[in-house]
Structure 1
Amino acid sequence: MNPNPQMYLNRTRHWITLVALIIAGEIIFALPFHIARFFRPTFLDAFSLNNAELGDIFALYGVTAMLAYFPGGPLADRFSARTLITIALLTTALGGLVLVQMPSKNTLALLFAYWGITTILLFWAAMIKATRLWGGDNAQGIAFGLLDGGRGLVAAGVASLAVSLFVFLLPATSLPGADEHTLTHAERVESIQAIITYYTTLTFAAAVLTWFVLPVDSKEYEQPHQPFSAYRTISSQIRNPLIWLQGLIVVCAYCCYKGIDNYGLYAYHVLDMSESDAAQFTASAAYLRPIGAVLAGLLADKAKPAKVIFICFCLIAVCYATLSLPDTASFLQLAVINLAASALAVFAVRGIYFALIHQSGLAKYATGTAAGLVSVLGFTPDIFFAPIAGRILDAEPIEAAHQAYFVMLQGFAVAGALITLLYQHWLTTKNDSELQNSLTEGEKLTSKKTAKI
């Protein structure tokens, strides 16, 4: 049998589309999050911030993001994901041109509030919608697993290059007998400016890529053009308990994910790593993201996403409980193992929690609206997590502050496991009820036919 060139071409385009989504899905968050995550000690010094002040700035991002999630859902159901994603990347990259000027704290706060709009209103629900379209009916777990795993690989790759650039630009490290503790404030500022320029360029490039690669949406993902159709879609999803339970699952998982932002600070303060070693440690941990997300995606398509998420939450809780214990002689090895294991499990949950939308049986044309509603609740940690974490971590003594931090994260993991069990119970009850109603309707139809005979 001769190979079908069109089939191979379609398959190639299919995978290129996912690659573009992966790149866009991570790079758009690089400017607001990557620099502060991978270069936290240097970022704080360059902008003259403490952890609490940076947490408050992130909270402003969270507030505008919360306001953007809800309208972003219906917007994604109405307009092309290709157009929305491209505009979102371009407007986010423009913010990098402001950040590289090393603005004041007030301007920095306004910039992060601006990014809360550019990265969410036009982008988030559109990305979820495009990914569900890519996965079809039988590969939702692997679609979202590949998306988040790929995003993790992109994050780790570009972060590793950024760390190499950062180390190369640090003048103190090139002098005999010098170390990073001898760096001046001005030298740290110059290094961070180079990193900002690097991520800004990548964001502009991602915008060009998505415009030329992403396809136009399928008809089955377009909202029906009927009077008040958007209102009916929103109203039906607001009344759906599974949407809100999924939102609570995302809250707990996202808090654990944001907890990884301070792994570098933990390595610097408690494990006595240098600034560049702490950055490299965090960047290396990011390579676990594709492993965790893809494995979770494969398992989710066989055992259902909710079951995989429950197991991962349990593992996360155990890891954080261990990290909250006092130091021991072998604590370094134990801490590294638990940091790695917790990151792997967190990345697994993050990779598949939006696959729950398909598991709940939601209509395809309402994907954007559902993603928006789930995100309104699910990403509220963008408002409260960083300010709380910053104040915990600024306490003294430092070791006790980090132990308290991991106790807080453990609480979110336990809550996530319990809510996931409730989600599974509610979904089972819903499916049983629908099956019973279907059987009842079938009996009524049979009775009518018998009566006619």
Structure 2
Amino acid sequence: MKGKLRKNIPTLIILIIAGEMIYTLPYFRNYYYDVFLNAFQLTNTQMGTLGSAYGVCCLISYIFGGYVADRWKTKHLLSISLFATGILGFTLLLYPPYPVLLLIYAAWGITSIMTFWVALIKAVRSLASENEQGKAFGFFEGGRGAAKIIESALVLGLFAFLAKQLSDKLALTSVIIFYSVMCILLGFMIMLLYKEPVNNNSDEIKEKSNKKFDWAILLRILKMPTTWLAAILILTSYAMINSFYYITPYATAAFGASTIIAAALGYFSQYCRPIGSFGSGIIGDRIGISNMVIIGYCVLAIGLAALIVLPGKPSFILLLLVFIAIIYISMYALQATHFAILVEGDYPVEITGTVAMPLMIIGYSGEIFMPIVAGACLDHWSGTDGYKVLFSILLGLTIVGLITAIIWQRVTKEKRKAIVLQKREMIAS
């Protein structure tokens, strides 16, 4: 097992890029909003409905994604998902009418989540040994952030050049072609590079993992307290990930930040992402994933508390930037531990899909209710008060997450001791 992750670095890099690129097609319309709107002759309501169609199918896909991931080979699921997403991207080049666009976005909710996301998590878990899970997911999340920075800069440059030389619509066409081609190429690369893990577990798990779906395994997972604790950890930290973009308008409203500075604060999150993710992975494997989670919640709580009490004056804008950096880094550090911490819960890699079902349904539900909560806060309380109430709610969820992490440590005490012992034996050998 020694150096397992190091041997699989080329495959991990491909998975990182694939994990970023497959979501560019469903979301790129947000970055080229006006051009997309005009090219496809849509209203703003229709544009928003495309996102809703994608979101609804994503929610359904989260429910069935675990079933799919544990039934079919990971390699096939990842490759087929990328192929299908890329092919659907090419259909955009026909500039179809709105009803067809709606179907394309709904289909992307299936190809990027149901057949892809849980299979991707399972693949990343399989590339590392038990005491390397922190690094694996830290590098995975941090790498996705770095890939996003590079990809967005290259594509934006390509779009700007072609828009100036030709037209906005042709520039948009080039963006669609680029993303579609990349998805299909990555599908072929995964098909060639990724190797299915050898099942070294008991005959019982081998037999059950080969079945279509074993409800007994799901029932056993639901009875484990670690399942519900992990779901709460994802829910409380993902709520911040769903709400951090409200920091940008808050900076404008409370601190008088200019539009350019406010936009820069939004992009700043992507530069903090690799720092938080890489750091979380490396430190987590050294001190224990759950210890890293506790630190992450503590730092996030400090950042949110400071954001709430900091006086809204232009002279404090630099101090605001420091606290925002603390929030972003800790937020992404926690995101990197969402599935790395499963190793302490003693879940075999072979049933990752089944484990992920309740975790994603509960954990990612913040994607549905947090925008509603935020909107209600901003509508009910005028000025900056609404933002402070929202940040106070997030602070409360952070404290709940911290308490949950402490309980997690007590429940997983024996498994964590076994992981430490295994690490010492590996170092000794």
TM-score, length-scaled by structure 1:
0.75
Q: Identity rate of aligned residues, in percent? A: 26
Say if 2:378 is the partner of 1:385.
no
Mapped to 1, the partners of 2:5 and 2:72 lie a distance apart of 25
Say if 2:397 is the partner of 1:416.
no
C-alpha spacing 1:101/1:287, structure 2 compared with 1 (3 Å): farther
Mapped to 1, the partners of 2:172 and 2:380 lie a distance apart of 26
Deviation at 1:249, TM superposition (A): 0.8
Partner of 2:331: 346
The one of 150, 154, 167 equivalent to 2:147 is 154
Mapped to 1, the partners of 2:375 and 2:168 lie a distance apart of 22
Q: Which has the higher contact order (CA 8 A, sep 6+)?
A: 1
| 1:138 match: secondary structure | helix
Mapped to 2, the partners of 1:133 and 1:78 lie a distance apart of 16
C-alpha spacing 1:196/1:324, structure 2 compared with 1 (3 Å): farther
C-alpha spacing 1:100/1:348, structure 2 compared with 1 (3 Å): farther
C-alpha spacing 1:382/1:331, structure 2 compared with 1 (3 Å): same
The one of 17, 34, 58 equivalent to 2:11 is 17
Mapped to 2, the partners of 1:329 and 1:264 lie a distance apart of 14
Deviation at 1:401, TM superposition (A): 5.0
Partner of 1:372: 357
Q: 1:28-427 residue pairs with structure 2 within 5 A?
A: 28-33=22-27, 36=30, 48-49=43-44, 54=48, 58=51, 60-97=53-90, 111-165=104-158, 167-168=160-161, 195-220=175-200, 224-225=206-207, 230-262=214-246, 271-274=257-260, 281-325=265-309, 327-389=312-374, 399=384, 402-427=387-412
Q: Does structure 2 conserve the Cα–Cα contact (< 8 Å) formed by 1:89 and 1:206?
A: yes
Deviation at 1:20, TM superposition (A): 1.1
Q: Does structure 2 conserve the Cα–Cα contact (< 8 Å) formed by 1:313 and 1:416?
A: yes
Q: Does structure 2 conserve the Cα–Cα contact (< 8 Å) formed by 1:131 and 1:144?
A: yes
Amino acid paired to 1:130? A
| 2:113 match: secondary structure | coil
Deviation at 1:16, TM superposition (A): 0.9
Q: Does structure 2 conserve the Cα–Cα contact (< 8 Å) formed by 1:309 and 1:353?
A: no
Amino acid paired to 1:215? K
Query: In the comparison of the two structures, how many residue pairs are matched?
Result: 406
Q: Does structure 2 conserve the Cα–Cα contact (< 8 Å) formed by 1:62 and 1:381?
A: no
The RMSD of aligned alpha carbons is: 3.9
Q: Does structure 2 conserve the Cα–Cα contact (< 8 Å) formed by 1:59 and 1:384?
A: no
| 1:368 match: secondary structure | helix
C-alpha spacing 1:293/1:77, structure 2 compared with 1 (3 Å): same
| 1:217 match: secondary structure | coil
Mapped to 2, the partners of 1:398 and 1:196 lie a distance apart of 40
Amino acid paired to 1:365? E
Amino acid paired to 1:288? C
Mapped to 2, the partners of 1:42 and 1:419 lie a distance apart of 45
Q: Does structure 2 conserve the Cα–Cα contact (< 8 Å) formed by 1:81 and 1:217?
A: no
Q: Does structure 2 conserve the Cα–Cα contact (< 8 Å) formed by 1:20 and 1:214?
A: no
Deviation at 1:127, TM superposition (A): 1.2
Mapped to 2, the partners of 1:212 and 1:204 lie a distance apart of 13
Mapped to 1, the partners of 2:368 and 2:225 lie a distance apart of 23
Q: Does structure 2 conserve the Cα–Cα contact (< 8 Å) formed by 1:45 and 1:188?
A: no
Amino acid paired to 1:212? L
C-alpha spacing 1:384/1:162, structure 2 compared with 1 (3 Å): farther
Deviation at 1:278, TM superposition (A): 5.7
Deviation at 1:293, TM superposition (A): 1.1
Q: Does structure 2 conserve the Cα–Cα contact (< 8 Å) formed by 1:96 and 1:200?
A: yes
CA-to-aligned-CA distance 1:80-102 (integer Å, 9 cap, x gap): 21110111122223443466677
Moved more, 409-418 or 263-272: 263-272
Mapped to 2, the partners of 1:96 and 1:263 lie a distance apart of 32
Q: Does structure 1 conserve the Cα–Cα contact (< 8 Å) formed by 2:199 and 2:206?
A: no
CA-to-aligned-CA distance 1:148-180 (integer Å, 9 cap, x gap): 111111112112223434555676xx9xxxxxx
Q: Does structure 2 conserve the Cα–Cα contact (< 8 Å) formed by 1:39 and 1:279?
A: no
Deviation at 1:105, TM superposition (A): 7.4
Q: Does structure 2 conserve the Cα–Cα contact (< 8 Å) formed by 1:220 and 1:364?
A: no
Q: Does structure 1 conserve the Cα–Cα contact (< 8 Å) formed by 2:5 and 2:128?
A: no
Mapped to 2, the partners of 1:32 and 1:16 lie a distance apart of 26
Mapped to 2, the partners of 1:189 and 1:403 lie a distance apart of 41
Mapped to 1, the partners of 2:226 and 2:283 lie a distance apart of 21
C-alpha spacing 1:335/1:59, structure 2 compared with 1 (3 Å): farther
Mapped to 1, the partners of 2:86 and 2:120 lie a distance apart of 18
Deviation at 1:347, TM superposition (A): 0.9
TM-score, length-scaled by structure 2:
0.79
Moved more, 396-405 or 365-374: 396-405
Partner of 2:423: none
Amino acid paired to 2:186? A
Amino acid paired to 2:358? L
Q: Does structure 1 conserve the Cα–Cα contact (< 8 Å) formed by 2:37 and 2:47?
A: no
C-alpha spacing 1:303/1:372, structure 2 compared with 1 (3 Å): same
Mapped to 1, the partners of 2:304 and 2:142 lie a distance apart of 22
Partner of 2:427: none
Q: Does structure 2 conserve the Cα–Cα contact (< 8 Å) formed by 1:74 and 1:230?
A: no
Deviation at 1:291, TM superposition (A): 1.8
Deviation at 1:367, TM superposition (A): 2.1
Amino acid paired to 1:115? W
C-alpha spacing 1:423/1:110, structure 2 compared with 1 (3 Å): farther
